[in-house]
A and B are shown apart, each in its own frame.
Chain A
Amino acid sequence: MVPPILINLLSGLSVRLLVFFLLVLLVFFLPRLLPGDPVAIFLSSDLSRDLSGSEAVELRSQFGLAGGWLQQLGEYLSNLIVGDLGYSVPHAAPVSQLLKTAIPWTLLLIACAAPLFLIAGAAGGIEAGKAPGALFDRVATGTVTVIASIPPFTAAVLLLLAFGILWPVLPAGGAEPLFPSDNPLQRDFDVARHAVLPVLALSLHEVSRFYFLARGEAITLSQRPFIINACGRGIKGWRLRAAYYGRSLFPVFLARMSDSLTGLFGAVLFVEIVFSYPGTGHLIYNAILDRDYVLLQGAVIVMAGLVLLLNWIIDAVATSLARRG
């Protein structure tokens, strides 16, 4: 008998492949609809000389802009299928190489932020939901409501102002000091210090989602016999919260995680731009300004692929868990 998780995985795959293909088309055509010509922008400095006709044609083909859109698309797709994301002329580097240096930074922020907002959201939510209307609930729910109303980039700017400029205890930008230390331990410490503010900004954005989810669930759970029973048997403290509430929250959290992923990957782009963090956000932002189609396509496709992949796995696990009840 096929394990149910495999069935879930397979059924999720086909939908996502279709979504992915549509996305590739979208990210191919949308930038081309923007005003502005990549080659003209590339050479927009008034210190550079004008190109003669044949030189301009040659440069266009280097940009992958020779021929009509359909021809460009065909060429792009056939390269994409063999894993070639193309070459960014403005950066003078293959797109894959640019992404290879940028994506780890983006993932670092996400990987540090995720446990933070998941645990904080769950712990706070359970505490508040256990005794709705009590002092903790009122204070926490009030605070989280305020946080939830701040858009991610505003939160990032506020954090930057507070801890990077007005009270400069943490670095205001970048992922490393000007001159990274040769000592790996010191270097890791510096990287961690630089990640604090961006991670906080990102977590603040997500924590409210999971807080409210946990609180709502906890209120319902408190009425369920197995919790009442447990309380009656004198189980309390850490064990009650983790083993009884926490375990029951797990599938709900997973399910929510799968649809909040897109929001998370979107928020990280803003956060990176505010903190001049060298992740994909910066690459994408500048690629739009420079009309660097090849890089923009590559970055969006890879990021989207990553989101779809994570979302696919989480979904399958969540569905299996939900079925188990």
Chain B
Amino acid sequence: MHLIHQPLVRVAAATLAALLLTLAAAMAGPVGQLVITDARGDRGMLAPYIHGKNGIGYLYTTYVFDSLLSQKKDGDVTPALAKRWTISRNGLVCDIYIDLRAHWHDGEPVTAEDAAFTFSYMQEHPYVFADVRNVKEAKVLSHDHLRLQLKKPDAGLLTGMLLSMPVLPKHVYADIVEPQRFAEPEAVIGSGPYKLADYNKAQGRYVLEANADYYLGAPKFKRIAIVKMATDAALRAAKADEIDIISYLPPERLEQAKESGLNVVKAFSNHSVRLGFNHSGRFGSKDLRHAIAYAINRPALISTVYQETADVADTGFFQEASPWHSDDVHPSYAFSPRKAADLLTAKGWSRAEDQLWYMDGEQVVLRVLASKRETKAAKVLAEQLETFGIKLDVRILERAALQDSLSEGNYDLALYASSTLGDPNGILRRVFGKKWASDGYSGKKLRALADAQSVATSRQQRQDILNKFQEVYSQELPAYAIANPYMVTAYNDKLSSLKFMPGGVAIGVPSALHKSYLVD
């Protein structure tokens, strides 16, 4: 008996000891390092003027540079460098009081001077993620008191400009004439929770170090590394505990991530895949836009193309997870070839015996442009419309060529993904703007609502106008939102209950990695 038991006891004791050791190792001290993987890697150096001009480059830069305001986990604004603020009744004067506990990464204190300087510097050197053109004057009244004089009231002052504008250190940037060429180590002196310690462009690797005396709380990690890693490699590395976060996991890999022992958070990207219309061509007509919408079977398209990775999008521009989404039900243009046919016939189109549509005796062929990512959706769309009798000429174009063709107006329909996040003032450029991903729409009724919400004096008033906007949008249909794809972030137990920021991070970056998760 004795002889048989002894090895068993030994094994048990050894296992227990090993378990305790692992546990002790896991609990010893503050969590040292967090490794985030990014499938693309290099996003440029993390300073406002030189980071990559995309949402992710901006997001990483917010770890290094604080703005006057920040966001709570529910997306609402909360104090950051500005500890409090007041806005005058006429909406033209904003008093901002700086949190004097804040310091730059080189030890200098942050003052009202720095904030005032940033407003004037960004007037002269435009920073494309913050629009300060509405600021008439930024006046320093005392060490911590700054008064902004605006040209016109702005309903998006807090959720737009003050939230998104990184504050620059005056003592560093004052002499810099060409900030877009300023990539010295001083360029990344910010006031955020982390300092940029190392940046390797060729490897696409960032090392951030905790800013020990961060004024809003202690940074959770001593070091954060952001490394370039493809999804497959990242999943393997997560299994081996070499990395902690896969920032954007392709949603179809969700189960695989769970098997690797990762937690996952899945949310709508609100980066909806939309069918744009060329409003200066035949689709200036609302009835024709409706006809196309009725001829498309969105649920069928989504189940073929996206399966579980997207859902049917809301037709009223803002998507369900947005803080500004209206509770009203918007028309869904449920697949109805009959309605589509009636609308087309009323517009003088006719269907011949070959079941194809003709206009003035000529067969209708619509040119559809799509980006490479939307190839599959474009193909299914073409199949659906061709079954209905409208011939499509589908052109899949690489990014640059697509943008070129879109701004030249050389198309009838266009399939592309674009954001609906960030401050609602974004609709002014996303619906009425000139840029390639804009709906390029100019309807007066909708424009009046968009303008009205931008000068609304209370949040409730703004929401009411935006509800009306969404209703009119879904009727006018400047673009037909097809699918709202999901986004997934996978993470291990070094972080808990990550959530995608409702409405997006600051300028509207869809991300579950807002800096508040990285600070205690």
- Tell whether, in the assembled complex, residue B201 and residue A101 are in contact, meaning their CB atoms are under 8 Å apart: yes
**Among B320-328, B330-338, B428-436, B484-492, which stretch is in contact with chain A?**
B428-436
- Tell whether, in the assembled complex, residue A51 and residue B128 are in contact, meaning their CB atoms are under 8 Å apart: yes
- Tell whether, in the assembled complex, residue B201 and residue A50 are in contact, meaning their CB atoms are under 8 Å apart: no
Residue-wise interface mask of B (49-68) relative to A, using a CB-CB cutoff of 8 A (1 in contact, 0 not): 11011110010000000000
Is A41's beta carbon under 8 Å from chain B? yes
Residues of B with C-beta under 8 A to A46 = 418-419, 430, 435, 437-438
- Tell whether, in the assembled complex, residue B429 and residue A50 are in contact, meaning their CB atoms are under 8 Å apart: yes
| A51–chain B nearest beta-carbon distance, Å | 7
Assembly CA distance A31 to B502 (angstroms): 41
- Tell whether, in the assembled complex, residue A37 and residue B404 are in contact, meaning their CB atoms are under 8 Å apart: yes
Is B180's beta carbon under 8 Å from chain A? yes
**Among A1-9, A135-143, A168-176, which stretch is in contact with chain B?**
A168-176
- Tell whether, in the assembled complex, residue B53 and residue A105 are in contact, meaning their CB atoms are under 8 Å apart: no
Residues of A with C-beta under 8 A to B178 = 62
- Tell whether, in the assembled complex, residue B180 and residue A49 are in contact, meaning their CB atoms are under 8 Å apart: no
Residue-wise interface mask of B (231-245) relative to A, using a CB-CB cutoff of 8 A (1 in contact, 0 not): 011001000001100
| B408–chain A nearest beta-carbon distance, Å | 9
**Among B89-97, B393-401, B460-468, B470-478, which stretch is in contact with chain A?**
B393-401
Is A30's beta carbon under 8 Å from chain B? no
- Tell whether, in the assembled complex, residue B131 and residue A49 are in contact, meaning their CB atoms are under 8 Å apart: yes
Contact (A55, B430) CB under 8 Å given A89-B180, A105-B202, A289-B398: no
- Tell whether, in the assembled complex, residue A36 and residue B403 are in contact, meaning their CB atoms are under 8 Å apart: yes
| Interchain CB contact (< 8 A) of A35 among B58, B236, B400, B435 | B400
CB neighbors of B among A179-237 (8 A): 179
- Tell whether, in the assembled complex, residue A178 and residue B205 are in contact, meaning their CB atoms are under 8 Å apart: yes
Assembly CA distance A195 to B464 (angstroms): 61
Residues of A with C-beta under 8 A to B307 = none
Task: Name the residue of chain B whose CB is nearest to the CB of A41.
Answer: B400
Residue-wise interface mask of B (124-138) relative to A, using a CB-CB cutoff of 8 A (1 in contact, 0 not): 001011110100000
| B299–chain A nearest beta-carbon distance, Å | 26
Assembly CA distance A92 to B47 (angstroms): 11
Residues of B with C-beta under 8 A to A14 = none
Chain B binding surface, main DSSP class: loop
CB neighbors of A among B106-164 (8 A): 126, 128-131, 133
Assembly CA distance A47 to B230 (angstroms): 25
Is A91's beta carbon under 8 Å from chain B? yes
Residues of A with C-beta under 8 A to B229 = 178
Is A312's beta carbon under 8 Å from chain B? no
| B108–chain A nearest beta-carbon distance, Å | 24
Assembly CA distance A96 to B126 (angstroms): 26
Task: Name the residue of chain B whose CB is nearest to the CB of A277.
Answer: B202
Most buried by B among A36, A52, A62, A165: A36
| B24–chain A nearest beta-carbon distance, Å | 24
With A47-B129, A90-B52, A174-B228 given, can you name 8 additional A-B contacts, CB distance below 8 Å?
Answer: A37-B404, A44-B436, A47-B54, A47-B55, A98-B201, A173-B233, A178-B242, A289-B398
| B472–chain A nearest beta-carbon distance, Å | 21
Residues of B with C-beta under 8 A to A173 = 230, 233
Assembly CA distance A290 to B438 (angstroms): 20
Assembly CA distance A34 to B242 (angstroms): 42
CB neighbors of B among A232-279 (8 A): 276, 278
Task: Name the residue of chain B whose CB is nearest to the CB of A102.
Answer: B202
Residues of B with C-beta under 8 A to A102 = 202
- Tell whether, in the assembled complex, residue A55 and residue B228 are in contact, meaning their CB atoms are under 8 Å apart: no
Task: Name the residue of chain B whose CB is nearest to the CB of A178.
Answer: B227
Assembly CA distance A46 to B399 (angstroms): 13
Task: Name the residue of chain A whose CB is nearest to the CB of B508.
Answer: A47
| Interchain CB contact (< 8 A) of B400 among A45, A276, A289 | A289
CB neighbors of B among A51-75 (8 A): 51-52, 55, 62
- Tell whether, in the assembled complex, residue B181 and residue A35 are in contact, meaning their CB atoms are under 8 Å apart: no
Assembly CA distance A290 to B398 (angstroms): 11
Residues of A with C-beta under 8 A to B403 = 36-37, 40-41, 44
Assembly CA distance A42 to B180 (angstroms): 13
29 A-B residue pairs with Cβ-Cβ distance under 8 Å, sorted by A, are: A36-B400, A37-B400, A37-B404, A40-B403, A41-B403, A42-B53, A43-B128, A44-B53, A45-B53, A46-B430, A46-B435, A47-B54, A47-B422, A47-B507, A48-B128, A48-B129, A49-B131, A52-B133, A55-B126, A89-B180, A92-B44, A92-B180, A92-B181, A101-B202, A165-B232, A172-B230, A174-B228, A178-B243, A289-B400
| B36–chain A nearest beta-carbon distance, Å | 11
Assembly CA distance A91 to B183 (angstroms): 10
| A180–chain B nearest beta-carbon distance, Å | 8
Assembly CA distance A35 to B44 (angstroms): 25
Assembly CA distance A101 to B233 (angstroms): 25
- Tell whether, in the assembled complex, residue A278 and residue B203 are in contact, meaning their CB atoms are under 8 Å apart: yes
Is B340's beta carbon under 8 Å from chain A? no
Task: Name the residue of chain A whose CB is nearest to the CB of B401.
Answer: A35
Is B35's beta carbon under 8 Å from chain A? yes
Is A10's beta carbon under 8 Å from chain B? no
CB neighbors of A among B437-487 (8 A): 437-438
- Tell whether, in the assembled complex, residue B54 and residue A62 are in contact, meaning their CB atoms are under 8 Å apart: no
Is B407's beta carbon under 8 Å from chain A? yes
Is B341's beta carbon under 8 Å from chain A? no
Assembly CA distance A51 to B418 (angstroms): 19
Is B225's beta carbon under 8 Å from chain A? yes
Task: Name the residue of chain A whose CB is nearest to the CB of B429.
Answer: A50
Is A28's beta carbon under 8 Å from chain B? no
| Interchain CB contact (< 8 A) of B35 among A52, A90, A178 | A178
Task: Name the residue of chain B whose CB is nearest to the CB of A98.
Answer: B201
- Tell whether, in the assembled complex, residue A49 and residue B203 are in contact, meaning their CB atoms are under 8 Å apart: no
- Tell whether, in the assembled complex, residue B405 and residue A178 are in contact, meaning their CB atoms are under 8 Å apart: no
Is B509's beta carbon under 8 Å from chain A? yes
| B483–chain A nearest beta-carbon distance, Å | 17
Task: Name the residue of chain A whose CB is nearest to the CB of B45.
Answer: A92
Residues of A with C-beta under 8 A to B50 = 92
Assembly CA distance A91 to B49 (angstroms): 11
- Tell whether, in the assembled complex, residue A43 and residue B53 are in contact, meaning their CB atoms are under 8 Å apart: yes
| A121–chain B nearest beta-carbon distance, Å | 31
- Tell whether, in the assembled complex, residue A51 and residue B126 are in contact, meaning their CB atoms are under 8 Å apart: yes
- Tell whether, in the assembled complex, residue A40 and residue B183 are in contact, meaning their CB atoms are under 8 Å apart: no
Is A87's beta carbon under 8 Å from chain B? yes
Residues of B with C-beta under 8 A to A175 = 202-203
Residues of A with C-beta under 8 A to B35 = 178
| B500–chain A nearest beta-carbon distance, Å | 15
Is A130's beta carbon under 8 Å from chain B? no
Assembly CA distance A36 to B430 (angstroms): 20
- Tell whether, in the assembled complex, residue B225 and residue A178 are in contact, meaning their CB atoms are under 8 Å apart: yes
| A160–chain B nearest beta-carbon distance, Å | 11
Contact (A44, B399) CB under 8 Å given A35-B405, A36-B404, A50-B434: yes
Residues of B with C-beta under 8 A to A89 = 180
Task: Name the residue of chain A whose CB is nearest to the CB of B51.
Answer: A92
Assembly CA distance A176 to B228 (angstroms): 12
| Interchain CB contact (< 8 A) of A45 among B54, B131, B236, B398 | B54
Residues of A with C-beta under 8 A to B242 = 178
Task: Name the residue of chain A whose CB is nearest to the CB of B400.
Answer: A36
Assembly CA distance A165 to B232 (angstroms): 9
Is A80's beta carbon under 8 Å from chain B? no
Residues of A with C-beta under 8 A to B54 = 45, 47
Contact (A50, B433) CB under 8 Å given A41-B400, A178-B35: yes
